[in-house]
Structures are given as C-alpha cells and as structure tokens.
Amino acid sequence: MTEVTELTAIEALAPAPSMPALPLPAVSATPAPIAAPAAEAPERGAIQSVDRAVSLLVAIAELGGETTLSALAQRTGLNISTCHHLLATLARRGFVAKTVGRRGYALGARILYLSHACLQVELPQRAQRFVDRIAQATGETVNLVVLQGGGLAPLLERKARHALRVDTGTLDTSGAVHATATGKAILAWLPETETARILAAQGMRQFTAATIAGYPALIEELRLVRRNGFAIDREEFQPGVVCVATAVRDHAGAVIGSIGAWAPTMRASEDHVALMRAEVVAAARELSAELGEPAATTGPATS
C-alpha cells in the first residue's frame, strides 16, 4: 500500500538567490471520480464470455432476482454494451427474462429447471431419514415421487416390514397422476392451466371403479387436498390399496414432489389411516423446512 503523508502546515521559505522558485502544481478542489471496479479476470483456462455470463446470473440473484441493466453493469464492472449482449443470449436460452413494464432483467424459468434437476439428485438423500421414520412408525411402504414430463417418477422407496405389503416399485404410476394420492398431492398446488395440460397429455384413465375419471370432479378433489393439507386415494389406482400423501416444498415454497404411505385395505382402519396421515404430514413439513420452505405454505392437516 502506498504511504500517504498528511501535511499539517506549509512553511514559506524565501528561495536562495541562485535557485529560482519552482511553481507549485495546481490542486483541484474537486476530487477525481472513483471508477467502477473492473470485472475480475477469469482464471487461467477459463472462457471469458462464459465467466462474465455466470457473473451476471449471480449478480441478478444477489440483487434480489430482478434488477436493471445499469445496476448489473455497476455490480459486475462490465460495460453496458457487454452486459446487454450477454443478457440477450441468456434470455434466448431462458436463463434470464426481461421484466414487463420496466427496463430490467430477472432470473428465467430455465434456472428453476436446473434447480429442480439438482434437487432430484439431492432430494432422495435429504428425504431418506424421513421416509425411514414414516415406515418405522406405520409399518407400511413409503415412497417419494416427483412430477417429471407430466408423469410421476419414483425417487425413493422403503418397503413395509409386513409380509403382505404394497410394493410401489412394481406399480407403474407414470400415467396415474390423477388416480394416486402422491399425484394429487402435487397436482393440487399447480396452476389449473398446468393441471389441464398434464391431464390432456396423459389422459384420465379409469384404473378402478373408484378412480376419479371426470375433470370437474378431480378439480373439486384437488380443492379438498389444498384445504386439508394431504391427499388420499382409497383403491382409486390399485384394488385393495390405500395411500395417503402430502407435498414436499423447496426454499421458494414450490412443490417439488410428494411423500406417500401405502397400505393394503385389510390394515387400513380409520385409526391406522390417521396414523399414516399424521406421520406423512409431519415428515413432509420437516423435510420442506429443511429445504428452506417459507413458513405457513402448507394447508392444515385434518385430524
């Protein structure tokens, strides 16, 4: 660091006859403007444009998920033109989006897609102890599923300890999002337009006599799921099987999957179903909280 010496006084000395006085340099009363910090140079071997694009994404996140072009330029140390061109490329790929009504940028839907993909790797690891806990408390098969491509995809299963049990690993629930408690627990929190799109693509096959096969009836069922905070199916997907499920949420409060407990009807007394419901709801809430879910986004459980 350069050492700065403060002058507290100036003593006027008469110059020697043989040494002409030297003019003092003019001192401006206005301080020089402070330049914006230059963007950090990428590490050796890094691609500068990629490094800068990532810096812009991080800056948008740090500025609350939405900001202006000038604020981004100031934050990253990049000039306005460079920011504009990089943001235009990111917008074409869905990683940023131009805000409506103002000249700004927000994180795009593609970021959420990557976040969900990351969670599908992390989620089973985080959910394992909760799934095990439900299985231990209820004695029944418990699984964790996510919505993938409009269908249900299993991520984790803990089999029941009983000889007579439900083996969810052998059940193809991919096209049964409307007929399973695990599917309804997710559908209930989607926009109705998205629910309609999913059901139009996969159809509403009637698996059993108890399957809800009509769209208006299903929408009413999903309303009850939101009110109660859990979903249930009584032989709607598989004869002789009852399932209770509830949604799992991420740090933004978005539903990213569901946990369900499955029992054969011979053990599905009202008391046992109530136990399954209590364990599933409690575990899903704790897992969601661990994932950073904002408080009070899930509905109340009916006792």
Please give the helix or strand (H or E) that residue 155 lies within, else none.
Answer: strand 151-158
Confidence of residue 83 (pLDDT cuts 50, 70, 90): very high
**Sheet order of strands, 66-68 included:** 66-68, 104-107, 96-98
State pLDDT tens for residues 155-203. Answer: 999 999 887 888 776 777 888 999 999 999 999 999 888 899 999 988 9
Please give the helix or strand (H or E) that residue 149 lies within, else none.
Answer: none
Q: How far apart are CA 262 and CA 279, in angstroms?
A: 12
Separation of first and last alpha carbons in the chain: 68
Confidence of residue 213 (pLDDT cuts 50, 70, 90): confident
Q: What is the pLDDT of residue 261?
A: 96
The answer to whether 187 and 195 have CB atoms below 8 angstroms apart is: yes
Percent of the chain that is helix, strand, coil (3-state, to 5)? 40, 15, 45
The winner for highest mean pLDDT among 21-30, 39-48, 99-108, 254-263 is: 254-263
Q: Is the pTM of this model over 0.75?
A: no
The answer to whether 184 and 221 have CB atoms below 8 angstroms apart is: yes
Task: List the one residue out of 262, 258, 221 whose CA is nearest residue 241.
Answer: 262
The answer to whether 162 and 136 have CB atoms below 8 angstroms apart is: no
Q: Which domains does the chain carry? A: 48-107 (1.10.10.10), 111-290 (3.30.450.40)
* Eight-state DSSP code of residue 185: H
For the chain, percent of residues with pLDDT exceeding 90: 50
State pLDDT tens for residues 110-129. Answer: 877 777 677 667 888 899 99
Q: How far apart are CA 186 and CA 174, in angstroms?
A: 13
Q: How far apart are CA 212 and CA 221, in angstroms?
A: 9
State pLDDT tens for residues 250-303. Answer: 887 889 999 999 999 999 999 999 999 999 999 999 999 998 887 644 444 444
